Amino acid sequence: MTAAMLTCRRSDDDSLVITLSGDWLLRGDLPGIDAVLQEMNQPAKPSSIEFSTTDLGSWDTGLLTMLVAVHRSAADQAITVNESGLPEGARGLLTLAFAVKEREGARRTSVKVPFFARVGQTTSEALSSGRELLTFTGEVVLSFYRFATGTATYLRSDLAQHIQEAGAEALPITTLITFLIGMIFAFVGVMQLQQFGAGIYTADLVAIAMVREMAPIMTAILMAGRTGASYAAQIGTMKVNEEIDALTTLGLNPIDFLVTPRVIALLLMMPLLSLYGSAMGILGGMGVGLVMLDVGLMQYVQQTVEAVEQTDLWGGLFKSVVFGSLVAMAGCQQGMACGDSALAVGQSTTKAVVMGIVLIVISASVLTIIYINLDI
C-alpha cells in the first residue's frame, strides 16, 4: 500500500488541478483538504477544479469522503467541479451522493436548553404524566363497569393465562422471599426479646409483622418487579408492533382487552399470594424460634394463634388487594404510554417498576395511618 498524496497546482487556464496518487483507503493515513481550501480562498479564485488521477491506486470510501468535502466547499464558492479526471466508479458514486438534494430543515442544530427551562419542562412533564395516570385510572374503572355488566370483549383464556402467571407461577419466588423474611424477623426478635426473658413473644412479632405488613408489601414489591415489569414490556412491545392499533381498528377496546384482565388477575392473585406468604413467613420464623428458644412446637403454635386476630388478617389482605391493583395499573399504564422503539420499551418497563414500588410504599403508609386511627 502506497501512501495517499494530494497536490494542488494551477493550470494555464487558471483552473485548480488536484493530483491524487497512492492508495486512498479509509484504513490508511489520508491527507486533509486544507491545501485545496487554501487555493480556493485565494483572491484570484480558480475558475474550476479538475482532477488528475493517473497515479491513483486502489480507493474506497476514504476517497469519496474527500471528494464530497471538496464538492461542498466548491459549491459554496460557486466554483465548478470537472469530474472527468476521476475514476468512473467514483464519478458514479458522487452522482449518486448528490442526486437527492438535502431536505429543507432536515439538518439538526443542537440547542442548549437553559436550566430554568429544563426545570419547567420536567415539572410540566411530571404533571402531565400524573394527569395521564388519572385518565388511565378512570378508563380502567369504566372498563370494570363494562366487565361487571358483561359488555366487555376479552378472551377468557387470556385471563386464565394471566391468573396462572401472576399466581401459581409466582409461588416459588414468594416462598423463598417470605420464608427468609420470617427467619430474619425471628432472629431479630429472639436476640432482643430474650434479653427480657420474653423470647416466646418472637412468635407474636413474626406472626403480626408478616400478616399485617411484611407479606403484603414483600409480595407486592416482588410482583412489581416480576409481573408489573412483564405487563409493561408485553403491552409496550405490542404498541411498537402496532398490535394495539390493530385491536382498535377491529373495534376492540384495548383497555378491556389487554389491561383489565391483567388488573383483575393481579387483584385476585395478590391476596392469595400474600396469605401464602404470611404462612411461609410464620413457618420460617417458627424454624428459627424452635431452634434458638427453649420452647416446644405446640407452645409456639399456640402463641402464634393467640397473637393474630382476624382484623390483622383482613387488614393485610385488603392491603394486598390495593397493592395488586396499583402494580398492575402501573405496569399496564406504562405499557400503553410506551413510545415506538426498543429503547422506549426498556424505559417504560423501568418506569413501571419504579412507579409500582413508589405507589406501594406510599399507599402502605397511608393505609397504616388509617388502620391506626380506626384502631384496627
Partner 1 sequence: MVDQQPHITARDLTIAFGDFVVQRDLNFTINRGDVFIIMGGSGCGKSTLLKAMIGLKHPASGEICYDGEPFWASSEREREDTKRKFGTLFQAGALWSSMTLAENIGLALKQYTDLSDAQIREVAAYKLMLVGLTGFEDYYPSEISGGMKKRAGLARAMALDPEILFFDEPSAGLDPLSAKRLDDLILELRDSLDTTVVVVTHELASIFSIGNNSVFLDPETKTQLATGDPRELRDHHPDLAVRNFLQRGAALGGGATEAIPA
Contacting positions for partner 1 (CB under 8 A): 26-27, 60-61, 64-65, 68-69, 88-90, 92-93, 96-103, 106-108, 110, 339-344
Q: How far is the CB of 61 from partner 1 (least distance, A)?
A: 5
Q: How far is the CB of 316 from partner 1 (least distance, A)?
A: 42
Give the angle subtended at the CA of 266 by the CAs of 260 and 268, to the nearest 5°: 100
CA 27/CA 135 separation, integer angstroms: 56
Closer residue to partner 1 (CB): 33 or 186: 33
CA 336/CA 225 separation, integer angstroms: 18
CA 25/CA 332 separation, integer angstroms: 52
Q: What share of the chain is helix, strand, coil (3-state, %, to 5)?
A: 70, 10, 20
Closer residue to partner 1 (CB): 143 or 334: 334
Closer residue to partner 1 (CB): 100 or 372: 100
Closer residue to partner 1 (CB): 9 or 72: 72
CA 154/CA 140 separation, integer angstroms: 14
CA 214/CA 207 separation, integer angstroms: 10
Closer residue to partner 1 (CB): 83 or 158: 83
Neighbours of 154 (CB within 10 A): 20
Q: Which 3 state secondary structure label does DSSP give 7?
A: strand
Q: How far is the CB of 188 from partner 1 (least distance, A)?
A: 44
Q: How far is the CB of 104 from partner 1 (least distance, A)?
A: 9
Q: How far is the CB of 27 from partner 1 (least distance, A)?
A: 6
Closer residue to partner 1 (CB): 76 or 88: 88
DSSP E strands, the chain: 5-10, 16-24, 48-59, 80-82
Q: Which residues, listed in sequence order, are joined to residue 80 by a DSSP beta bridge?
A: 48
CA 133/CA 254 separation, integer angstroms: 16
Q: How far is the CB of 78 from partner 1 (least distance, A)?
A: 20
Closer residue to partner 1 (CB): 100 or 374: 100
C-alpha cell at 314: 383482613
Q: How far is the CB of 95 from partner 1 (least distance, A)?
A: 8
Q: How far is the CB of 47 from partner 1 (least distance, A)?
A: 26
Q: Which residues contact 117 (CB under 8 A, 6 or more apart)?
A: none
Closer residue to partner 1 (CB): 26 or 141: 26
Q: Give one DSSP letter per residue of 20-72, joined into a string.
A: EEEEE-TTS----SHHHHHHHTSSS--SEEEEEEEEEEEE-HHHHHHHHHHHH
